[in-house]
Amino acid sequence: MAREKGLKGMESRERLLAAAAEEFANRGFHETKVSTIVKRAGLTQPAFYLYFPSKEAVFDELVNAFRTRLHALIGSSRFEAQVEAQDVPKRVRMAVETFFRFLEATPHLTRIGLFLAPKAEEIKKELIALIAFNLSAEQQAGYFRSDLSMKTVAECLVGIVERLTLSQLLPGIKSPESLASQVVDLLLYGMLSMKHTSA
């Protein structure tokens, strides 16, 4: 009764998931046909329904996979205790870099969970709240200007990440490192040239 059970099935299921992820990411939900997914996975239509109750169900599963990984990432990359002021830029840069790397690692899931899903707005709202919380702590500690709303800053940061992910990261034009350093440089120090700033 307990053989190497379900191995083949799991493999088929995984193939379907991978094919679905790619199709959804490239064509969106409606343009993606179940018939195409199964073709890519080397199966036929009814096999699909052996593993998923509906087309929506696969999509949701992919969205949830993204959400779960995202939460895992955030959970593991909490800001640690007291930091020296000089270290703040580096720490922020590293955090942003880690995030870009995460997005780059699973491009299909990123496209689905961050841009295609109806839930995407909700997911980003969670993300923003978390970032705002972390930034507020740094602000309390005196590292950031006290007249800025960290909620707004978090929104801006996420907006920037979204934009750059779509136009630079996913197309492979720029690396997580270079994007992170440019973004953080801009956000921490601002655009104005020093002579005007330090006046």
Partner DNA sequence: AAGTAACATTACTCGTGAGTAATATCTCAT
Partner DNA sequence: ATGAGATATTACTCACGAGTAATGTTACTT
Question: Which residues contact DNA (rule: CB under 7 A)?
Answer: 1-10, 12, 32-35, 42-47, 49-50, 54-56
For its own copies, the closer of residues 25 and 161 by Cβ is 161
For its own copies, the closer of residues 36 and 182 by Cβ is 182
Stretch that binds its own copies, among 46-54, 55-63, 72-80, 147-155 (CB under 8 A): 147-155
Q: Please answer whether residues 160 and 65 qualify as being in contact, where contact means their C-beta atoms are separated by less than 8 angstroms.
A: no
The position carrying tokens 């949830």 is 64
CB of 14 to DNA, least distance (A): 11
Q: Cα separation of 152 and 131, whole Å? A: 10
Q: Cα separation of 169 and 133, whole Å? A: 26
Q: At what angle do helices 150-164 and 87-105 cross, to 10 degrees?
A: 40
CB of 116 to DNA, least distance (A): 15
* DSSP character string of 21-35: HHHHHHHHHHH--HH
For its own copies, the closer of residues 18 and 134 by Cβ is 134
CB of 115 to DNA, least distance (A): 20
CB of 62 to DNA, least distance (A): 15
Stretch that binds its own copies, among 32-40, 47-55, 105-113, 151-159 (CB under 8 A): 151-159
For DNA, the closer of residues 36 and 134 by Cβ is 36
| One-letter amino acid of 138 | E
**First CA to last CA distance, the chain:** 79
Tell me: does residue 82 bind its own copies (CB under 8 A): no
* DSSP character string of 70-108: HHHHHHHT---S---TTHHHHHHHHHHHHHHHHHHHSHH
Residues binding its own copies (CB under 8 A): 29-30, 85, 88-89, 121, 124-125, 128, 142-146, 148-149, 152-153, 155-156, 158-164, 166-168, 182-183, 185-198
